[in-house]
Amino acid sequence: MSESKLKELRSDIDELTELSKLAKRKKVQDILSLEIRKLETDWINIKEKEKSVTPMEADPVPTTSVPVKIKRYQIKLNGYGWDQSDKYVKIFVTLKNAHTIPKEQVYCTLTDRSMELHVENLENKDYLLVINKLLEPINIEESHWKQKTDMIVVFLAKSRPNITWSHVIEIEKKFEDQRNNRFKADDSDKKDPQDSVMDLMRKMYETGDDEMKRMIAKTMYESQHKKKTDLVDL
């Protein structure tokens, strides 16, 4: 069951990521980015639960006898999951084989309201995740990060412990507040999360260019077709 859910979430994340690349309007890009992060958080939470039930040993770090110089390029990351405790906001970044590189190749640049995660020379690629305008200030000295199997976890220490963050960044909260005000009559607790994604795509279709409309129409058709197929299977 969880494996099927993971595949569904990953498919939704990949599809929304493709739509984000096509989006030209800043507001549309921000909305998609917010949805991607929510789905990434769901995916990571399920993955972490699986690991707690069946813990796995990390693969040994591969060694190379002769280093070869190969030109690397940088990949900017957008998706991440997050969680929090009384003391920390935890940022989860999934990167395959992230646990295999030396610790000095993974580091963060922090300010009281921003973070940059750098992962250098992971399979000849550099990765960068930038998060600006955090919802609350952080304590730089007490913040840290860890490498786990196929994942980097950044522990952002709250400057005000025991304060619950509703979102990671300010703009996410603003979008959420605007959406709640606009759709406050909706029974959001009973609404299917898939329907929310479809609503977003309909709005994007109305404002997008021809290429985006073609992509969204295809996605909406396939999603509706899948729902009908699921009902037939039942």
Q: Give this prediction's pTM.
A: 0.54
Give the pLDDT score at 15: 84
What is the CB-side half-sphere exposure of residue 94 using CA atoms within 13 A? 16
Residue whose structure tokens are 């994604």? 197
DSSP 115-157: EEEEE--SSSEEEEEEE-SBSS-EEEEEEEEEEETTEEEEEEE
Give the pLDDT score at 9: 79
**123 Cβ partners below 8 Å, 6+ apart?**
97
Give the pLDDT score at 41: 85
Give the pLDDT score at 231: 47
Residue whose structure tokens are 């580091």? 107
Domain ranges of the chain: 2-52+188-233, 73-158
Give the pLDDT score at 107: 96
CATH class of the 73-158 domain in this structure: mainly beta
- Tell me the pLDDT of the chain (234 aa) as tens digits: 567 777 787 888 888 888 877 888 878 777 888 888 888 888 787 877 776 655 555 555 555 555 556 678 899 998 899 999 999 999 999 999 999 999 999 999 999 999 999 999 999 999 999 999 999 999 999 999 999 999 999 999 999 999 999 999 988 888 888 877 776 655 555 556 666 666 776 766 676 666 666 666 766 666 665 555 454 444
